[in-house]
Amino acid sequence: MSETVARESQAEARPSDRGSPSLVRVEGIFKNFPGVRALNDVSLTIRSGEVHALTGENGSGKSTLSRIIAGMMKPDEGRIFVDGKECTFDSPSAALGMGIVMISQELTLAPTLTVAENIFLGRLPRTRLGIVDWSRLEADAASALERLDIHVSPHARVGDLSVELRQEVEIARALSANARLLILDEATSSLSEAATARLLERVRQERDAGMAILMITHRMPEIYEVASVATVLRDGNLVATVPLPSTTESQLVRLMVGREISDFYGKRSIQAGNQVIRIRDLHTPAGALRPTSLDVRRGEIVGIAGLVGSGKSEFGLALGGAIECVGEVEVEGRPVRLGDPRSSIEAGIGLVPDDRKSSALLLVRSVMENFSLAWIDRLSRAGVLDTRRERLDVQGAIKRYRVATASAGVSIATLSGGNQQKVVLGRTFMRQPSVLVLSEPTRGIDIGAKSEIYRMLQDAAEGGAAVIVISSELPELLGVCDRIAVFFEGRLEAEFGRDEATEEAIAHVAVAGARNKQRVVNRSEDRQ
């Protein structure tokens, strides 16, 4: 009881009461994409001087909603009010005119232009003759950078800067545009811990100065550090808008997931057999992946964690033969020729790449052709297809992997993301590979499909495959893997057994490496 009181008084101490005026309000937003309802009647109020966390699992509609508020996308239905007046944004610049600025996970800077040009992109100062006023541009940019304490030259080419500095430039651009609402879309996902702390400090300053901030993230510590209200989306529906910190973390997670985690992953205990794949010093010539060694046994599910750019996705691509690489890979004692997808497939490695649209789906073709693509060589004799067997095989696969589709003949684009992913996984499983490499296997799909995919990959492990799951979602790795390897700066930095793996321990290695682990832990103790 006394705890509740303390929390409430803390909430009151924040400058942002729910009583402050509404800056932006969206009402009844609907948005459909082919095969998926992204937003279903979502309403939200964002107030000045308040950090509003927008959270939910991947694919819950967070990014879609923020893109609609930022004018980058039009809703199918629904209304947007700014300062109580209804607005229709048909472009990001219209939203910008209302003081709404978005910083997204993919940075939107022009890499070939200078820092100064990027800060004032689209609103370069001009002389009376209408040509760019370079000296004023430079002076304005320099003063904006100084005010924000960002140490970078206005002349520097953005493409030459580190990811973190680019983000700072992006923030400088947002703030110098007289932003009233700043939308941060997973802005910390590619930042180191120190840079994240700096960003959160800046968010706090701007909040106290009266800016409204909509923060899209699923990192709990960040939410609790700065936000005073959180809205949870699940599968495009608004689940709840709750005050913080009076809502506990586990309550919030339950709202996000909508069910208990334990039965969600359905982790089975599978007896590991003998070693199937032996990886030694696998690396890419350019250094995105530094020499990495790993062994995986039959029936084992090994997770690979790490930030964007840690080398974890290159590791998967290298195993699948999708990129040039050097090193030794043996499957069941036989060496694999690297850098060629066909020799990886023949060796028994099945790769499911992370980007479904760009590297897995034939979007204009049928479900059947998308399925049989993986074993088309086995369906043809002397180059001629056995279309009858193809149809039977695919119908069997649709049943076995529970793909919800009207028929095998319809375009794969008619399926939901989850069912598309089941096709991609299923076709890889059909060859019964002895090693499965799955990169972000549940990215952008709904909760129900996720659960089925966890079931599918455990079925494969039970059937004797060695499974490697590469994922940015720690909860899923913790939920299904027997051990977890963490990548940092291109290297396999640390390995955790199922019993010792915690979200915190893995995250620390992922953002700071194993050497810094001790220091990071100490600092978090200081904070408490």
Partner 1 sequence: MTAVNLKEAVVAQHSREASPILQQILQNRYTGALLSLLIVGTIVAVTQPVFLTWPNLMNIVKSNSVVFVLAVGATFVVIAGAIDLSVASATAACAMVLGLLLVAGAPAYAAIPAAVAFGAFLGAINGTLISYFKISFFVVTLGSLSMFQSFALIANDGASISVFSSPGFAPIGAFVNGNIGPVPVMLIFDLALLLIAGGVLRYTAFGRALFAIGANTEAARLNGIDVKRMMLIVFIIAGLMAGLGSVIQVGRLTSASADIDPTLLLTVLAAVLIGGTAYTGGEGGVFGTMIGVLFLGVIQNGLTLSGVSSFWQGMVSGLILILAVWLGGLRQFMRRRKQAKVG
39 by Cβ neighbours in 10 Å (0-12 / 13-18 / 19+) ranks as: buried
Candidates 95-103, 195-203, 340-348, 514-522 — which segment interacts with partner 1 by CB under 8 A?
A: 340-348
Residue 36, interface with partner 1 (CB under 8 A)? Answer: yes
* Least distance in angstroms from the C-beta of 119 to partner 1: 35
Q: In the complex with partner 1, which residue's Cβ is closer, 233 or 506?
A: 233
- Candidates 129, 269, 384, 499; binder of partner 1 (CB under 8 A) is 384
Q: How far apart are CA 78 and CA 83, in angstroms?
A: 17
Residues whose CB falls within 8 Å of the CB of residue 269, separated by 6 or more in sequence, listed in order = none
Candidates 164-172, 406-414, 440-448, 507-515 — which segment interacts with partner 1 by CB under 8 A?
A: 406-414
Residue 385, interface with partner 1 (CB under 8 A)? Answer: yes
DSSP one-letter string for 155-211: TSBGGGS-HHHHHHHHHHHHHHTT-SEEEEESTTTT--HHHHHHHHHHHHHHHHTT-
Q: How far apart are CA 498 and CA 298, in angstroms?
A: 17
* Least distance in angstroms from the C-beta of 360 to partner 1: 5
Find out whether 29 and 68 touch, Cβ atoms under 8 Å.
Answer: yes
Q: How far apart are CA 118 and CA 154, in angstroms?
A: 9
Subset of residues 73 to 92 that bind partner 1, contact rule: CB under 8 A:
none
Q: In the complex with partner 1, which residue's Cβ is closer, 241 or 343?
A: 343
Give the DSSP H or E segment for 488: strand 483-488
* Least distance in angstroms from the C-beta of 415 to partner 1: 8
Residue 35, interface with partner 1 (CB under 8 A)? Answer: yes
- Candidates 139, 163, 242, 379; binder of partner 1 (CB under 8 A) is 379
DSSP one-letter string for 104-148: -SS----TTSBHHHHHTTT---B-TTSSB-HHHHHHHHHHHHHHT
Subset of residues 418 to 457 that bind partner 1, contact rule: CB under 8 A:
427
Residue 369, interface with partner 1 (CB under 8 A)? Answer: yes
Q: In the complex with partner 1, which residue's Cβ is closer, 30 or 224?
A: 30
Q: In the complex with partner 1, which residue's Cβ is closer, 63 or 372?
A: 372
Candidates 222-230, 306-314, 381-389, 433-441 — which segment interacts with partner 1 by CB under 8 A?
A: 381-389
Subset of residues 208 to 237 that bind partner 1, contact rule: CB under 8 A:
none
Residue 34, interface with partner 1 (CB under 8 A)? Answer: yes
Residue 32, interface with partner 1 (CB under 8 A)? Answer: yes
Candidates 183-191, 303-311, 373-381, 465-473 — which segment interacts with partner 1 by CB under 8 A?
A: 373-381
* Least distance in angstroms from the C-beta of 488 to partner 1: 27
Give the DSSP H or E segment for 49: none
Q: How far apart are CA 412 and CA 305, in angstroms?
A: 30
* Least distance in angstroms from the C-beta of 35 to partner 1: 4
Candidates 82-90, 194-202, 298-306, 344-352 — which segment interacts with partner 1 by CB under 8 A?
A: 344-352
Residue 414, interface with partner 1 (CB under 8 A)? Answer: yes
Q: In the complex with partner 1, which residue's Cβ is closer, 66 or 416?
A: 416
- Candidates 373, 505, 520, 521; binder of partner 1 (CB under 8 A) is 373
Subset of residues 261 to 320 that bind partner 1, contact rule: CB under 8 A:
320
Can you name the residues that pair with 308 across neighbouring β-strands? none
- Candidates 376, 402, 409, 522; binder of partner 1 (CB under 8 A) is 376
Find out whether 478 and 279 touch, Cβ atoms under 8 Å.
Answer: no
SS (H, E, C) 410-472: CEHHHCCHHHHHHHHHHHHHHCCCCEEEEECCCCCCCHHHHHHHHHHHHHHHHCCCEEEEECC
- Candidates 322, 338, 425, 506; binder of partner 1 (CB under 8 A) is 322
Residue 9: half-sphere exposure toward Cβ, Cα within 13 Å: 5
Structure tokens at 460: 């494969």
Please tell me what DSSP assigns to residue 366.
B
Q: In the complex with partner 1, which residue's Cβ is closer, 34 or 497?
A: 34
Structure tokens at 364: 């204009």
**Which residue's entry shows tokens 């370079």?**
134
- For the four alpha carbons of 358, 359, 361 and 363, in that order, the dihedral sign comes to positive
Kindly give the pairing relationship between strand 384-385 and strand 483-488: unpaired
Q: How many helices (H) and strands (E) does the chain have?
A: 20, 22
Residue 416, interface with partner 1 (CB under 8 A)? Answer: yes
- Candidates 339, 341, 475, 479; binder of partner 1 (CB under 8 A) is 341
Residue 388, interface with partner 1 (CB under 8 A)? Answer: no
Size of the site for partner 1 (CB under 8 A): 41
- Candidates 387, 502, 518, 522; binder of partner 1 (CB under 8 A) is 387
Candidates 13-21, 110-118, 148-156, 408-416 — which segment interacts with partner 1 by CB under 8 A?
A: 408-416
Structure tokens at 117: 């040009």
Subset of residues 348 to 367 that bind partner 1, contact rule: CB under 8 A:
351, 353, 358-365
Q: Which residues of 164-190 are buried (b: 16+ CB within 10 A; e: fewer)?
A: bbbbbbbbbbbbbbebbbbbbbbbbeb
Q: In the complex with partner 1, which residue's Cβ is closer, 173 or 422?
A: 422
Diameter of the chain measured on Cα atoms: 79
Subset of residues 121 to 150 that bind partner 1, contact rule: CB under 8 A:
none
Sites of contact with partner 1 (CB under 8 A): 32-37, 40-41, 320, 322, 341-342, 345-346, 351, 353, 358-365, 369, 372-374, 376-377, 379-380, 383-385, 387, 411, 413-414, 416, 427
